[in-house]
């Protein structure tokens, strides 16, 4: 759906569908199901239309996550359909978001992961199905607690293998399998 025509509710619904069918449904992130099932994933739509205002929203959501109990909100998806629709500009913005973590003294506590409709790993073709592991309906910044990652590592889960497993899964599915998820 065109972001200009979509309501916040439509944008959140599309993001939930992506979470349920791709991220959780395909187990692209083995840590997503539990917090989602417990209602601990906050999905926020930013109305920012430029980097400056988006950075303010990032700052606000990082602060909110930092002071909110993990039992209430474990992770936040900041969906920004009106800013940084160009993937390269979005990718460059990640340095600013990481810089904000440092400025707010939240490095080591929180981190920012990225999803985008045109996500592209370095050295892959635009249409390489492996890129879909990080493709979301709208540009999205995932603000997550490092403690969540630490618990996964401590439980013995090989977090380094997620990337390779996901690429293999999507290559096995192919483009047709990916499109079938959305019917």
At 52-90, the pLDDT tens digits run 999 999 999 999 999 999 999 999 999 999 999 999 999
Q: Is the pLDDT of residue 155 over 90?
A: no
Residue 173 belongs to a domain? yes
Is the model more confident about 151 or about 16?
Answer: 16
Average pLDDT, the chain: 95
Q: How many domains does the chain have?
A: 1
Residue 2 belongs to a domain? no
What the block records as the tokens of 70 is 């993990």
Residue 1 belongs to a domain? no
Per DSSP, 118 falls in state T
Q: Are the C-beta atoms of 48 and 57 separated by less than 8 Å?
A: yes
Residue 3 belongs to a domain? no
What the block records as the tokens of 174 is 């192919």
Q: Are the C-beta atoms of 140 and 116 separated by less than 8 Å?
A: yes
- Answer whether 0.85 is exceeded by the pTM: yes
Residue 33 belongs to a domain? yes
Residue 13 lies in domain: 8-180
- The backbone torsions φ and ψ at residue 128, rounded to the nearest 5 degrees and listed phi first, read -65, 125
Q: What is the pLDDT of residue 149?
A: 82
Q: In sequence order, which ranges of 39-86 are alpha helices (DSSP H)?
A: 51-67
């Amino acid at each position: 759906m065109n972001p200009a025509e979509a309501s916040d509710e439509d944008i959140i619904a599309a993001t939930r569908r992506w979470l349920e069918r791709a991220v959780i449904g395909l187990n692209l992130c083995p840590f997503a199901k539990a917090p989602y099932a417990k209602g601990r994933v906050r999905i926020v739509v930013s109305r920012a239309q430029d980097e400056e205002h988006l950075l303010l929203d990032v700052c606000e959501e990082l602060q909110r996550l930092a002071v909110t109990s993990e039992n209430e909100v474990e992770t936040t998806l900041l969906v920004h359909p009106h800013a940084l629709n160009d993937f390269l500009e979005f990718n460059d913005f990640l340095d600013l978001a990481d810089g904000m973590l440092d400025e707010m003294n939240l490095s080591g506590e929180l981190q920012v992961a990225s999803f985008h409709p045109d996500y592209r790993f370095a050295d892959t073709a635009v249409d390489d199905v492996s890129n879909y592991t990080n493709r979301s309906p709208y540009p999205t910044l995932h603000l997550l607690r490092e403690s969540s990652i630490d618990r996964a590592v401590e439980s013995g889960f090989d977090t380094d293998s997620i990337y390779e497993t996901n690429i293999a899964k999507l290559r096995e599915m192919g483009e047709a399998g990916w499109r079938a998820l959305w019917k």
